[in-house]
Amino acid sequence: MPIEPVLFPRLVAASDPDWRAYIRHSFVLQLASGELPEACFRRYLVQDYLFLIHFARAWGLAIYKSEALGEMRRAQRLVAATLDVEIGLHIDYCRGWGLSEAAMANKPEAPATIAYTRFVLDRGAAGDRLDLEVALAPCIVGYAMIAAERAGDAATRLEANPYREWLEMYTGTEYQDLAREAVAALDEQFTRRGGEGRFPSLAGTFAAAARLEADFWQMGLEAQS
């Protein structure tokens, strides 16, 4: 029987309404209903490709910051998931949208991309691995929650939805398992490296990351104009 998660739900509760503004952002609702303008999705795709490079760097940093072989191996799997799978899927997926890898790699990073990625890396470099994982959680776990919530929503439409593949990737078992593993790791680390006194600082990191994720959606949405 899986153990009930503790830290992640507390971080979510403490970061409302920032959390809700992120996981129910208009970008996400329009993506689920299929009404999102293509220009918005395309902008998101390019910036998400640039984001993933720093996401892989963050998990490299986690390897360096590990105290035991087990946690090194989990970080290593996330580097591999990013560099071997996600970036590859992104490149395939983007090609279907008329975007070559070279074209994406040459685009400048949007301020929202810089703000979120460098905030996470700075929390991780200046703090310990728990600070880093808490800063990454709105992304890893948030995407799983967003996809699951939208899958259960009456307004969501899969047929003829150009973004169906995106929704199915994140509702898929593989991604949901990865998110569950991240939630469990937060509890394990909070026990081993945390304590109640650390909660306010971690909650501040989590809420700031959620706001920066919402800005990232907003940056996509603003491509329509």
HEC states along the chain? CCCCCCHHHHHHHHCCCHHHHHHCCHHHHHHHHCCCCHHHHHHHHHHHHHHHHHHHHHHHHHHHCCCCHHHHHHHHHHHHHHHHHHHHHHHHHHHHCCCCHHHHHHCCCCHHHHHHHHHHHHHHHHCCHHHHHHHHHHHHHHHHHHHHHHHCCCCCCCCCCCCHHHHHHHHCHHHHHHHHHHHHHHHHHHHHHCCHHHHHHHHHHHHHHHHHHHHHHHHHHHHHC
Of 120 and 167, CB closest to a copy of itself: 120
Which of 76, 149, 176, 178 binds a copy of itself (CB under 8 A)? It is 76
Residue 215 near a copy of itself by CB under 8 A = yes
Which of 80, 85, 155, 158 binds a copy of itself (CB under 8 A)? It is 80
Residue 57 near a copy of itself by CB under 8 A = yes
Which of 35, 64, 103, 177 binds a copy of itself (CB under 8 A)? It is 64
Of 125 and 178, CB closest to a copy of itself: 125
Of 144 and 215, CB closest to a copy of itself: 215
**What residue type is assigned to position 168 of the chain?**
E
Of 86-145, binders to a copy of itself (CB under 8 A) are: 87, 109, 111-112, 114-115, 118-119, 121-122, 125-128, 131
Number of residues that bind a copy of itself (CB under 8 A): 49
Q: Which residues lie near a copy of itself (CB under 8 A)? A: 53, 56-67, 69, 72-73, 75-76, 79-80, 83, 87, 109, 111-112, 114-115, 118-119, 121-122, 125-128, 131, 190-198, 201, 208, 212, 215
